[in-house]
Amino acid sequence: MASTHAAIRHATRQDVPTILGLIQELADYEKASSSVKATVESLTRTLSHADPSDPSNPDKFSKGYAKTLLVTDPDGTVAGMALYFYNYSTWTGVPGIYLEDLFVKEAYRKKGYGVLLLKQLAKEVLKVDGKRLEWSCLDWNEPSLQFYQSEKIGASKKQEWVGLRVEGDKLKKLAES
């Protein structure tokens, strides 16, 4: 019998092609399709996957650098994801979570699935006695910014901080200097 509610679960190794599809859809939305270099192989190797072989231990994961929560519509379709990893705050002295990507397929938006994913991430932060759930949003993505700053989510926009990144040849040069 099909459920009448959306379900949230951690992704398994078998979900990697679905995750890659969601990453590509997100890149399409952000008008950056050609920037996706991830492959099924690289995601399989670098993501931490839930181990469904031991239902008594829901905290059993493979080695990896990031986890993925999937939200499934009552029809059984994976409707969206939250890909995240743990970070650490020296100021609070405790861990937190950095949300790398939150994405809900267009056909499943306005059903509360983004809220469900963020609620589950908040629970994951509290599970490790963390203090922060953080993420970035493109400055032109007004619908997402409004959603994140709504009363339902309660995020505040950081004004004093500027994102910085070293990548590509400059990363290699820095490492070799």
Sorting pLDDT into bands at 50, 70 and 90, what band is 1? very low
pLDDT at 142 (0 to 100): 92
78-114 as b/e, with b when 16 or more CB fall inside 10 Å?
A: bbbbbbbeeeeeeeeeeebbbbebbbbbeebeebebb
Q: CA-CA distances (angstroms) from residue 65 to 60, 86, 170, 174? A: 14, 9, 23, 22
Round the average pLDDT of the chain to a whole number and report it.
94
Whole-model pTM?
A: 0.91
Mean pLDDT, to the nearest integer, of 96-105?
A: 97
| Cα 11 to Cα 13: distance, rounded to the nearest angstrom | 7
67-87 pLDDT per residue, tens? 999 999 999 999 999 999 999
Q: Residue 148 catalytic? A: yes
What would the two tokens of residue 139 be? 């400055």
Q: Which band of pLDDT confidence, cut at 50, 70 and 90, is reported for residue 53?
A: confident
CA angle 53, 45, 177 (to 5 degrees): 150
- Mean pLDDT, residues 28-47: 96
